[in-house]
Amino acid sequence: MNRGYASAHLELPRRAAFRERRDEALVSCGFRTSVLTAGDPARPVGALVLVSQAPVHADSTGYIWLAGTVSFSLHLGPNVIGRQRDNDVVVGDETLHVSRRHCVVVVHADRRVEVFDLASLNGTYVNGERIERPTMLAGDDSLRLGSSISFRLALYDANGN
């Protein structure tokens, strides 16, 4: 999450909450994760697999998202999800009510995974519960952004499987 992640477009109460949560996510990475991330920042260590989307239609790129067929690579450290084109996971369809910088999924060096909502308007949900604090994710957890797009977490083992 070193690209600046501007929040000037947000109104003041939300801007402050965004910055606080963004900084909390960065601090959560810790020294070991930061060192390993610097060594091989692009190496995928897991994926978010699209579970559902309603309705199924083409997004602004022209692709149709089908549940179970789309996955997004996760790398060690912070993975930002949202509509903004420089995010790690881009949800380009504005009709899905996903914020520009909706949430961040942090993959730690010890393979723990936690999600931070970045003061999104429509919320980030883990297993149907809206999160307000950093929340740990397990392999069978569902991650939902707003009301219409859900993912499942898949972490790779040391061999990349």
H or E element, residue 136: strand 135-137
Mean pLDDT score of the chain: 80
Q: Are 125 and 137 in contact (CB under 8 A)?
A: no
Nearest one of 24, 58, 40, 44 to 89, comparing CA atoms: 44
By mean pLDDT, which of 9-13, 54-58, 75-79, 125-129 is the weakest? 54-58
Q: Which of 156, 151, 116 is nearest to 136 (CA)?
A: 116
Residues 94-128 have pLDDT tens digits of 778 899 999 999 999 888 999 999 999 999 999 99
Contacts of 143 (CB under 8 A, 6+ apart): 48, 105, 115, 124, 125, 126, 137, 150, 151, 152, 153
Higher pLDDT, 31 or 65: 31
pLDDT in tens, 4-30: 566 767 788 888 888 888 888 888 887
**Percent of the chain's residues with pLDDT above 90:** 28
CA atoms within 13 A on the CB side of 121: 8
pTM summary value = 0.78
Q: In what order do the strands lie in the sheet with 135-137?
A: 89-90, 77-82, 103-107, 113-117, 135-137
